[in-house]
């Protein structure tokens, strides 16, 4: 469930309605002000005994559709730094790409419509990391 940043009524209500949830994925943007909210969200989940599957850094760089150059509009690396500090998995970075907008508007997932796109590759890598975490022998959930 996509919730507004922070630890307000919406995430609390969802956590209470889904007591058997297997985990939370915290999505942040790389700039410092957003990382404050993501840290609060991790601590909030842990207080509710909701495992944190990891942190995703969204909008991590813009890839120019004309020249392919990457520009870090909102910095980069903040999500990974927060994950390391909070001792939760870092799942990866999703760059901003124009094809994500097109895919969303058409209803075709980016990973299907353009699987070689940088954002699609990042999303698939994150899905694989999550699957590996769930399949790990030390995972009590099995």
Q: Which residues pair with 26 in a beta bridge?
A: 55
Counted domains in the chain: 1
Q: Would you say residue 15 lies in a domain? A: no
- pLDDT value of position 2: 58
Q: Would you say residue 50 lies in a domain? A: yes
End-to-end C-alpha distance for the chain, whole angstroms? 23
Domain around 78:
25-135
pTM, entire model:
0.83
| CA 79/CA 106 separation, integer angstroms | 29
- Expressed in percent and rounded to 5, the helix, strand and coil fractions of the chain are 45, 15, 40
| CA 17/CA 100 separation, integer angstroms | 31
- pLDDT value of position 10: 72
**To the nearest whole number, what is the mean pLDDT of the chain?**
85
State pLDDT tens for residues 115-131.
Answer: 999 999 999 999 999 98
State pLDDT tens for residues 34-84.
Answer: 888 888 888 888 888 888 999 999 999 998 888 888 899 988 899 999 999
Q: CATH code at 99?
A: 3.40.50.300
| CA 44/CA 99 separation, integer angstroms | 34
């Amino acid at each position: 469930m996509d919730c507004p940043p922070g630890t307000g009524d919406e995430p609390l209500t969802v956590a209470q309605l889904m007591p058997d949830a297997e985990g939370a994925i915290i999505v942040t943007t790389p700039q410092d002000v957003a990382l404050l909210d993501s840290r609060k969200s991790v601590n909030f989940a842990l207080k509710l005994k909701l495992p944190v599957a990891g942190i995703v850094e969204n909008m991590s760089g813009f890839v120019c559709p004309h020249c392919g150059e990457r520009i870090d509009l909102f910095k980069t690396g903040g999500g990974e730094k927060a994950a390391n500090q909070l001792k939760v998995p870092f799942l990866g970075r999703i760059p901003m790409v124009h094809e994500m907008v097109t895919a969303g508007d058409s209803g075709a997932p980016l990973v299907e419509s353009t699987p070689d796109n940088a954002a699609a590759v990042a999303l698939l890598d994150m899905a694989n990391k999550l699957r590996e975490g769930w399949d790990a022998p030390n995972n009590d959930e099995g």
